Amino acid sequence: MSTTADHRTRHAVVRSALGELLLTGTGDSLTGVYFEGHRHPPAPQHLGPRVEVGDDPRAEVLRAATQLGEYLAGARTVFDLPLAARGEPFQQRVWHRLRQIGYGQRATYGAIAEELGGRDLARAVGAAVGRNPISIIVPCHRVVGRNGSLTGYAGGLDRKARLLALEANDVLF
The rounded percent of the chain whose pLDDT value lies above 90 is 66
**Confidence band for 23, pLDDT divided at 50, 70 and 90:** very high
Q: How far apart are CA 95 and CA 4, in angstroms?
A: 25
User: Count of alpha carbons within 13 Å of 91, Cβ hemisphere only?
Assistant: 14
DSSP class per residue in 95-113: HHHHTTS-TT--EEHHHHH
- All residues at 6 or more sequence positions from 6 whose CB lies less than 8 Å from its CB, including other chains: 26, 48
Query: Rounded mean pLDDT of 26-30?
Result: 87
Model pLDDT for residues 31-57, shown as the tens digit of each residue: 999 999 888 899 888 898 888 866 666
Query: Rounded mean pLDDT of 78-100?
Result: 96
Catalytic residue annotation: 140
Q: How far apart are CA 61 and CA 50, in angstroms?
A: 10
Dihedral of alpha carbons 139, 145, 149, 155, sign: negative
**Confidence band for 1, pLDDT divided at 50, 70 and 90:** very low
- Whole-model pTM: value is 0.89
- All residues at 6 or more sequence positions from 109 whose CB lies less than 8 Å from its CB, including other chains: 122, 125, 126, 129, 143, 145, 146, 151
